[in-house]
Chain A
Amino acid sequence: MTAAATPAASPATTGEQPGVRLARSRRNAELSLLLLAMVLVAAYGAIVEANMLDTVTPDFWMPAAALTLVFVGMHLVIRWLAPFADPALLPAVALLNGIGVGFLRRLDLGKAAPADRETLAIFAGTGGRQLAWTLASVMLAAGLLALMRDHRSVSRYAYTLGLAGIVLVMIPAVLPGRFSEINGAKLWIRVGGFSIQPGEFAKLALLVFFAYYLVRKREVLSLASRRILGIDFPRGRDLGPVVVVWLISLLVLVFEKDLGTSLLYFGMFVVTLYIATERVSWLLIGLVLFFGGAYLAYVLGGSVGGPFLNFYTRAEIWLDPFAEPYDRGYQLVQGLLGLGSGGLFGTGPGAGEPLEIPEVQNDFIFAGIGEEIGLFGLTALLVVYLLIVERGLRAGLAVRDSFGKLVAGGLAFTLGLQVFVIIGGISKLIPLTGQTTPFLSAGGSSLMANWLLVAVLLRVSDAARRPVTQGGGPAARPAGGPPEQLHGAPTEVIRP
């Protein structure tokens, strides 16, 4: 640890040296990038219409214009509330969100009778609903930016959030199936025609709790340890609460039959622990536990069945989806065939047959898009995701307080892991687990939760890039003094 060589009291040691470069807000760059992204979204919409209607209607620009209004609004909010936030985040997320809306609208066009296609209203169908959800999500994200003027203030509610996270995760498991089950996964709260996925929000709440708790305990976790086989293992009692939280969420998820979220929480937990303690042992323990657990679940599923059968089935499909191409393997096979049919360049937006894939608007949206934009287009989308994740990690690197580091690093990694889990799943790299594709998949809960995640990253990056001399934003604490709950948090411990 290089920090050992520098004075422990200086808060700048844990972050990157705030240079002159960082002092620029780069808001104009953000606006230009955002407009460029929206031009791409408008062009996408135009090509879709050209391919599906053989003409481009005079109204083709309307969804893109609506999105532009929403995102420029967000841009203005950022100018006002987080002027030093990372300028790449908003345009990147806006591009993904815009392509998602455009593709969902394209699916609506595909489902509509040819005669009705030209007159499809802007807020009609899944695409229209997604547009409305985008508006709501962005407003929510702006609201979070307004409420949370300093990310450290959230740590005050860490235990509340932790409890809320557990409750959110548990509600669908406790609710009777008819209120919570869709397609075999008990993940939902359904009231009337309305359904939300509380797990998406629980992810955020739990991470904040993990971060807070680990920051408080990190010295203990790093120092008080027992050495077994050359690796330092922490004392059980230090880990108690975190392990309990993790176990509860995991158990509940077994009952909710959602492997993907379970895997996501586990990854999130292990990685925050690793970032906090800097102990590779955590990664090792995590990996062994995970792969051991997965293998055990597979073996148990094959022999005992019961609650493990779901995972066993998924693993079997993954190993050979073409064994039952019209039965269990149907969706994965159709996804693969869609991707393969797209090839290098794709058929062009609107010219493919993504509706061949069941439920293409949810988990398999990446395969559906991939048929039409090909390997080159998908690679571009992957790079945009990677950009968001690495920018989030960068915010974590640059921010000065440990809590911010953990929150930004944890959230950015979780986002990256989610992308890996779902895209790896639909492309047969790993067994398929139900997950939404962030910012692309249809669905309000996922979109909202991910926009909130982006708001947090924006907030942390604002704190990270804000020049020290400016002394913080409107809500800055006097003289940068650490909040009471985080006493000692920025302090680096010198280890022998």
Chain B
Amino acid sequence: MNAPLRRVGVVVMVLFGLLFANLNWIQFYKADEYRNSDYNGRVQVAEYENRRGNIEAGGTAVATSKETGGKLKYLRTYPGGAKYAHMLGYKPVNLAETGIERAEDDFLAGTSDVLFANRVKDMFTGDESGGGNVLLTISKRAQDTAYDQLRNNNNGVKKGAAIAIDPRTGAVQALVSMPSFDPNPLASHDTDKATAAYNELERNPDGPLKNRALSEVLPPGSTFKIVIAAAALENGVTKETQIPAGASWTPPTSGTPIRNAAPSICPEAQVTLMNAVTESCNTGFAQLGVKLGADTVKEKARQFGFEQDDLTVGRLGEGGLTVAPSRTGAMEAPGGATDPAALAQSSIGQRDVKMTPLEGAMIAAAVAHGGKQMRPYLVKQLLGPDRTTSYDNADPRVLRRPVDDRVAADLRDMMVSVVRNGTGRNAQFNGYTVGGKTGTAQSGPGTPDHGWFIGFALDKDDKPVSAVCVVLEEAGSGGSAEAARIGGRIMQAAAADSGSR
């Protein structure tokens, strides 16, 4: 009986060898994968072990971490509540983080490569200095104004967005998407509550989780006329050139005539380009667009930033919030040749032309800044956990140059005329030269029109201080005038803030 006993001994050895090999597989080969698995609660505990850094706007923390004494040591809180929700995003326990919380996660958590020296120092001193701080470009006053004005707009509109940028740098001064949401419940350590809160927001038909300022596109309406005007100015037309207009114009291949918003607008056969912009003359721009041709229109739009599908707004040069590409859409007939009807409608910002509010603000900013469009950014500075070492200071850079100085100056004059004499009067405020363009975009049969305003403000030295874009979705009649009023208030706040700086 000894021979089988010995063999049984060998069998046991083999079984244990299998266990050993399998443990090697799990604890060595697969260890990293399991350690960082989404299902691994230890990842969270480790994440909440150190104090996450602040996100600050204008010297105030808008995202901060509070000690809890629980298993997850810190609770992420957003003192600004819904006001900053769309740019900050949120840092939930069990869901994916969003916004700046996601884009600057490494630095906020203190695990970023640039904070390596800091971690080594902590190891020796035994301190736990936690994560770094992110300073936003946001102007607190402009953000407050944008949020309050948009929320309490005179037209009772529930959906919309506003964004203001500094034309000289591209720094975002205000960013609001409406309706907004309170990110605090989403960061709750009670993951069931957080999930319930998320699901409720997700189910809301008004889409409060959408960042309408950056990631939603709408037909820009007449604000797109600035792009057509720029193309015209580069193709032999001047401010004073008489262009064909009229009360109604029917493109060659279409049975549907293009009309103006009111009979009082450019009924004469010819108007100057200046007046066409000021009054927002549809028939004039439809004909102008068809005359320029689809390729020219598309190319000019592209030069202003349309079709860019990799733009992000965050830290300059690296990551950030994704921006949806603005599109000019198809203007061809089924055969492939340009469809004049489509081109005509596209030229007044309808049909398949779609734009983000950020793109609107960037068009206005380029006009205000002598034709130079700056790369937009949200993060001004990365500040170390000790609050003295600065790791990344934003260095503004030119993104592209859609028009030259001369064309920019003409466009500026025309946009100033819009606010001074035309459709954008509501945007006017004291002490600054304000220019802009309103837009009323048809959103579909039976749905009220969207009201747009893009604009800029120049100080008394003609230096641009702010460029803005406001959109009120399904605002109906008077929407663009209200958008212009809100745009003016936001720029006024931004100008006051930059003046006091």
Interfacial residues, chain A to chain B (CB-CB below 8 A): 1, 14-15, 271, 274-276, 278, 322, 325-326, 333-334, 336-337, 339-344, 352-353, 356, 370, 374-375, 378-379, 382, 385-386, 389-390, 393-394, 396-397, 402, 405-406, 409, 412-413, 416-417, 419-420, 423-424, 427-429
Contacts and interface: CB of A to CB of B under 8 A. Distances in A.
A397 B6 contact: yes
B22 A416 contact: no
A369 B23 CA distance: 13
Contacts of B20: 379, 382
Contacts of B3: 1, 278
Contacts of A352: 42
19 contacts: A1-B3, A14-B1, A278-B1, A322-B39, A336-B30, A340-B34, A341-B34, A370-B27, A374-B27, A375-B28, A378-B27, A386-B13, A397-B6, A413-B8, A413-B12, A419-B19, A420-B16, A427-B26, A428-B26
B9 A343 contact: no
B15 A393 contact: no
Contact of B40 (A337, A374, A428): A337
B22 A405 contact: no
Query: Which of B26, B32, B33, B35 is the most central at the interface, judged by chain A CB atoms within 10 Å of its CB?
Result: B26
Contacts of A393: 5-6, 8-9, 12
B45 interface: yes
A336 B26 contact: yes
Contacts of B444: none
Contacts of B42: 337, 341, 352-353, 356
A333 B45 CA distance: 17
Contacts of A322: 39
A274 B28 CA distance: 37
B86 to A, nearest CB: 29
Contacts of B18: 420, 424, 429
Interface in B17-64: 18-20, 22-24, 26-28, 30-35, 37, 39-42, 45
A256 B431 CA distance: 87
Which 6 A-B residue pairings sit nearest by Cβ, starting from the closest?
A340-B34, A375-B27, A416-B12, A343-B31, A429-B22, A337-B40
B23 A375 contact: yes
Nearest to B69: A114
Nearest to A277: B4
A444 B22 CA distance: 29
Nearest to A396: B5
B41 A427 contact: no
Contact of A423 (B19, B30, B39): B19
Contact of B12 (A339, A343, A390): A390
Query: Which of B1, B2, B40, B42 is the most central at the interface, judged by chain A CB atoms within 10 Å of its CB?
Result: B1
Query: Which of A15, A337, A429 is the most central at the interface, judged by chain B CB atoms within 10 Å of its CB?
Result: A337
Given A274-B4, A353-B45, A405-B1, 7 more contacts: A337-B37, A339-B27, A341-B34, A394-B9, A397-B6, A405-B2, A424-B19
Contact of A390 (B9, B23, B32): B9
Contacts of A276: 1
Chain B, interface SS category: helix
A353 B19 contact: no
Contacts of B32: 340
B13 to A, nearest CB: 7
A393 B37 CA distance: 42
A352 B42 CA distance: 8
Contacts of A271: 8
Contacts of B8: 271, 274-275, 393, 409, 413
Contact of A424 (B22, B28, B40): B22
Contacts of B5: 275, 393, 396-397, 405, 409
Nearest to B30: A340
Chain A, interface SS category: helix
B interface residue count range (under 10 / 10 to 19 / 20 to 34 / 35 or more):
20 to 34
Contacts of B9: 390, 393-394
B12 A382 contact: no
Given A337-B34, A337-B39, A375 B24 contact: yes
Given A375-B23, A386-B12, A340 B1 contact: no
Interface string B137-180: 00000000000000000000000000000000000000000000
Query: Which of A15, A325, A409 is the most central at the interface, judged by chain B CB atoms within 10 Å of its CB?
Result: A409
Interface string B231-272: 000000000000000000000000000000000000000000
Nearest to A274: B4
Contacts of A390: 9, 12-13
A424 B23 CA distance: 9
A381 B9 CA distance: 18
A237 B11 CA distance: 30
A409 B24 CA distance: 29
Contact of B34 (A1, A339, A405, A419): A339
B34 A336 contact: yes
A424 B18 CA distance: 8
Contacts of A386: 12-13, 16
A378 B24 CA distance: 10
Interface string B384-412: 00000000000000000000000000000
B2 A397 contact: yes
Nearest to A215: B1
Nearest to A405: B1
Nearest to A13: B2
A412 B30 CA distance: 32
A343 B27 CA distance: 4
B4 to A, nearest CB: 5
A409 B11 CA distance: 12
B26 A340 contact: yes
A366 to B, nearest CB: 9
A336 B30 CA distance: 9
A379 B24 CA distance: 9
Given A337-B42, A356-B42, A386-B12, A427 B31 contact: no
B23 A427 contact: yes
A109 B12 CA distance: 36
Contact of B27 (A342, A356, A429): A342
Contacts of A419: 16, 19
Contacts of A397: 2, 5-6
Given A336-B34, A339-B23, A416 B1 contact: no
A490 to B, nearest CB: 10
A326 B38 CA distance: 11
B1 A333 contact: no
Nearest to B13: A386
Nearest to B9: A393
A324 B489 CA distance: 53
B41 A389 contact: no
A364 B9 CA distance: 26
A39 B24 CA distance: 28
B273 to A, nearest CB: 63
Nearest to B21: A429
A375 B19 CA distance: 11
B31 A356 contact: no
A379 to B, nearest CB: 6
Contact of B1 (A389, A406, A420, A428): A406
B27 A325 contact: no
Contacts of B16: 382, 385-386, 416, 419-420
Given A340-B26, A382-B16, A429-B18, A353 B41 contact: yes
B438 to A, nearest CB: 51
A275 B1 contact: yes
A336 B26 CA distance: 7
Nearest to A413: B8
A409 B7 CA distance: 11
A4 B176 CA distance: 95
Nearest to A275: B4
A109 B366 CA distance: 63
Nearest to B8: A413
Contact of A340 (B11, B12, B35, B41): B35
Nearest to A279: B4
Contacts of B26: 336, 339-340, 427-428
